[in-house]
């Protein structure tokens, strides 16, 4: 996101952006936030949203972890592993599509964090198996620092949305930012094609 914002202010040098990165839901009105980017499967019906792209995830682990623990061959084997989880999304249940059918697997582990980067760092350190977004880990899968697991089961995808509170009195800068974000995020993310 920071690169997109940098490109936006380069195109529109008269605009200033205050980028706040949080891994929790914010009340746009109360916190006086003009625009938020949300990765979710459920949108707040009181907000206006523009879908930017899709967020896919991969189940992965480091070679260090897989050297000590045999890789799971089936989703159901995840219960035998230390699963590194996200505090707000999938802390105890991971949702998949396998053979066109939804499957939910109970997972547990000794590390949970409220941001994906911390989960990633724990996975790279060999602490366990993680479910991480492809936009974050695609280069690490390609380099072999992380190994993609269970290719027959796809973690449930989420949408990436730009959300805002009202169309009334929308500033020109906000309108241009929405258009810019739509251009910057293609409907089919290029990082997905290079992940596995």
152-171: average pLDDT:
85
Q: Ranked by mean pLDDT, which of 19-23, 60-64, 156-160 comes out on top?
A: 60-64
Q: Directed axis angle between helix 172-184 and helix 2-11, to 10°?
A: 130
For residues 103-107, average pLDDT: 95
Question: Using an 8 Å Cβ cutoff, are 142 and 148 in contact?
Answer: no
Indicate the average pLDDT of the chain: 88
Place of tokens 């949203």: 49
Which tens digits make up the pLDDT trace of 117-143?
999 999 999 999 999 999 899 999 999
Answer yes or no: is pLDDT of 171 > 80: yes
What's the token pair of residue 145?
């620092």
Angstrom CA distances, 25 to 1, 58, 67, 93, 146, stand at 17, 23, 38, 20, 29
pLDDT at 95 (0 to 100): 93
Q: Which two tokens stand for residue 60?
A: 């992965």
Above 90 in pLDDT, residue 158?
Answer: no
Q: Which domains does the chain have, with CATH numbers?
A: 2-55+158-193 (3.40.190.10), 57-154 (3.40.190.290)
């Amino acid at each position: 996101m920071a690169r997109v914002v940098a490109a936006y202010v380069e195109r529109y040098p008269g605009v200033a952006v205050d980028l706040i990165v949080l891994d929790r839901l914010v009340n746009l009105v109360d916190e006086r936030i003009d625009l938020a980017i949300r990765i979710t499967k459920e949108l707040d019906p009181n907000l206006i949203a523009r879908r930017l792209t899709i967020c896919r995830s991969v189940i992965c682990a480091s070679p260090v972890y897989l050297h000590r623990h045999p890789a799971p061959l089936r989703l159901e084997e995840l219960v035998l592993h230390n699963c590194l989880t996200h505090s707000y999304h999938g802390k105890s249940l991971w949702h998949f599509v396998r053979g066109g059918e939804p499957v939910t697997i109970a997972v547990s582990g000794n590390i949970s964090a409220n941001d994906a980067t911390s989960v990633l760092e724990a996975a790279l350190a060999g602490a366990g198996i993680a479910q991480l977004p492809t936009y974050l880990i695609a280069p690490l899968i390609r380099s072999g620092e992380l190994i993609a697991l269970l290719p027959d089961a796809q973690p449930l995808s989420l949408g990436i949305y730009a959300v805002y509170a009202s169309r009334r009195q929308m500033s020109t800068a906000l309108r241009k930012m929405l258009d810019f974000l739509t251009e910057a995020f293609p409907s089919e993310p290029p990082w997905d094609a290079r992940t596995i």
